[in-house]
A = this chain, B = another copy of it.
Amino acid sequence: MAAYDYQLLLKHLLEHGISWAPAQEIVFRDQIRYTYSDMYCRVLELASALQHQGVKVGSKVGVIEWDSHRYLEMYFGIPGIGAVLHTINPRLSLENLIYTMTHAEDEVLIFHEDFSPLVEQLRARLPFVRKFILITDRKEAPAIEVDGEYEEILAVASPLDELPDLDERSQATLSYTTGTTGKPKGVFFSHRQLVLHTLSGWGSLPPISNYGPMDKREVYMPLTPMYHVHAWGVPYWATLSGLKQVYPGKYEPEMLVRLIMDEKPTFSHCVPSILQMVINAADAKGLELENWRVVTGGARLTKGLALEARKLGIKVTGGYGLSESCPLLTIANLKPFMEEEWEEDRQLDWKVKTGFVMPLVKIRVVGPDGRDVTCDGIETGEIVVRSPWLTPGYYKDPERTEELWAGGWMHTGDVANVDEHGYIQIVDRIKDVIKSGGEWIVSLELENLLSLHDDVQEAAVIGVPDETWDERPLALIVLREQAKHRVTSATLREHLQKYVADGVIASWAVPDNYAFVGALPRTSVGKIDKNALRQKHGSP
């Protein structure tokens, strides 16, 4: 008999967690509390029920659900039988929902009753979805016609004895990422990728920062939606580790604060705005959150927010990843010498950075000349990556895959510097960087410096074509009401020259041209719409 060719499968993470901690708790809001053993039985029931519904190896199963124990069951149960878990972002526009589900070829749609109105709108446009399965906590008959209800199909299923063996390169998940332009792009990950992402995370999440290592007593509560790149993969890691897990359902400040107080999570992750929401809610109640560690990602963690968090006792650390990268790439763990030798304020400067690479991640920061930047915390380049858990491409999109993987490195589109200790700091998106005379001018940096002028309410900097330099920066300025008549281009140029003198920016980075406008256009999520600005002001 030949040796058993062990494949890296999600079920192995699940099985280990179950055997280590069969009686450990999983909590859903203030509604449900059950054990890892219960969860495992239900995963095996779900797997069987889906097979009964005709789900096969390679079938796509779409899910629209809040953060719940049921979503955790689907994280394992759907890929566990070789099907593909398509985590659907319910905030997509109706057209994008139809586009992505059509593109994914979802055969089954499992959705929470909160999204019934949405599903009613979608249904006629999704003829390929064979089965609609409802999730509800209520006992009454659903107000929508479906092929089954989640709890009912589990109740009548004969559970599988165990999840089957699969090839570790089998596709496990699929999700879509939307940019400001073009159609949504599908990213997909295999069992092998998710297992390696989990094992590497295991080594880099525990020693978070100067807050002491994490251990087997941690309590985990996600605050990044589970439809968003596997909630950073942490539900897989928490299950492997046998940790108590708390799922908050729909994010509502009152419920979140209540769960934090009652269930005492010690570890969460979220975007800075959600952290701000929890801080506000907790602050209003005068609560302390001494034992709560939070890793933020998705947007820059400002030092101001980190300080605010610290006032409540929250221990916060920056991290970084993309939909294309499963997502974790870096985390701002401090090195021992920083914790031992540096003052707290300097430590915080590093803890709000984009971070240090996780094990098995190789990052290069490549400047406009194609060479790696100097590790001086100043020179900027694009972050390109290799690691075992990057999407092999955009789903069914060879053209954009080619761009993503140009030169055999995955292009993140993020522009960053690297300091002498190897910590990365993102400073801009590459499409917003101004390419001038073979060098890059970071738009966000100029905007930040311009906004420091007392008379400037808001600033945006874009590149405009230039015959000599390829591009030159144009600053679009919204002045404060009272300053409208006293500020000129010369005022602002002079303001920026101070930063040239201090070595903060290069002299050639100072914009020649300034346009004073009444307001700046915004995208649907409230960011300054630079595409619109470039269209309007981009001609020379």
Q: A200-B199, A203-B241 are in contact. Are A13 and B388 (CB under 8 A)?
A: no
Q: Are A356 and B203 in contact (CB under 8 A)?
A: no
Docked complex Cα distance between A23 and B407 (Å): 32
Contact of A357 among B16, B215, B405 (CB under 8 A): B16
How distant is the Cα of A3 from the Cα of B187 in the complex, in angstroms? 13
Taken together as a complex, chains A and B put the C-alpha atoms of A3 and B400 apart, in Å, by: 12
CA gap between A496 and B154 in the complex, in Å: 53
Q: Which of A1-55 contact B (CB under 8 A)?
A: 1-4, 6, 8, 12-13, 15-16, 19-21, 23
Check: A409 CB closer than 8 A to any chain B CB.
yes
- Whole-angstrom CA separation of A276 from B3 in the bound complex: 37
Q: Are B216 and A215 in contact (CB under 8 A)?
A: no
**Given the interface contacts A202-B203, A206-B206, A335-B21, does A388 sit within 8 Å of B6 by beta carbon?**
yes
1/0 per residue, CB under 8 A from B, across A418-440: the answer is 00001000000000000000000
B3 A405 Cβ-Cβ under 8 A = yes
From residue A86, how far is it (CB to closest CB) to chain B in Å? 20
Q: Is the CB of B4 within 8 A of A409?
A: yes
A362 within 8 A of B: yes
Binary per-residue interface labels of chain A (114-153) against chain B in the complex, 1 for a CB within 8 Å, 0 otherwise: 0000000000000000000000000000000000000000
Question: Does A393 belong to the interface (CB within 8 Å)?
Answer: yes
CB-contacts of A154-196 with B (<8 A): 196
Q: Which residues of B contact A393 (CB under 8 A)?
A: 2-3
A275 within 8 A of B: no
- Residues on B with beta carbons closer than 8 Å to the beta carbon of A387: 6
A470 at the interface (CB under 8 A from B): no
Does A386 contact B6, Cβ atoms closer than 8 Å? yes
| Cβ–Cβ contact A4 & B240, under 8 A | no
**Contact pick for A215, options B212, B241, B410, CB 8 Å:** B212
With a cutoff of 8 Å between Cβ atoms, the chain B residues found around residue A216 in the complex are 207, 213, 335-336
Report how far A1 CA is from B392 CA in the complex, Å.
11
Q: Nearest chain-B residue to A216 (Cβ)?
A: B207
A282 touches B (CB below 8 Å)? no
Cβ-closest chain B residue relative to A12:
B360
Fill in one digit per residue for A336-363: 1 if any B CB lies within 8 Å of its CB, else 0: 1100000000000000000011011010
Question: For A390, what are the chain B residues with a Cβ–Cβ distance below 8 Å?
Answer: 3-4, 6
Query: Would you call A402 an interface residue if the criterion is a C-beta within 8 Å of the partner chain's C-beta atoms?
Result: yes
- Name the residue of chain B whose CB is nearest to the CB of A242: B335
- Among A335, A337, A422, max chain B CB count under 10 A is at A335
Residue of B nearest to A361 (CB): B16
In the complex, whether A391 has a CB less than 8 A from a CB of chain B is yes
With A1-B408, A2-B392 given, name 14 new contacts (CB 8 A).
A1-B405, A2-B405, A3-B392, A4-B405, A4-B408, A4-B410, A6-B386, A6-B387, A19-B422, A20-B335, A20-B422, A207-B215, A207-B216, A213-B216
In the A-B complex, the 10 residue pairs with the closest CB atoms? A213-B215, A199-B199, A3-B392, A6-B388, A202-B203, A213-B213, A16-B359, A1-B405, A4-B408, A4-B386
Q: What are 17 A-B residue pairs whose CB atoms fall within 8 Å in the complex?
A: A1-B407, A1-B408, A2-B393, A4-B386, A4-B390, A8-B196, A12-B359, A12-B360, A20-B422, A23-B337, A199-B203, A199-B359, A202-B202, A203-B203, A213-B213, A213-B214, A240-B359
Q: Which A residues are within 8 Å of any B CB, using their own CB?
A: 1-4, 6, 8, 12-13, 15-16, 19-21, 23, 196, 199-200, 202-203, 206-207, 212-217, 240-241, 335-337, 356-357, 359-360, 362, 386-388, 390-393, 401-402, 405-410, 422
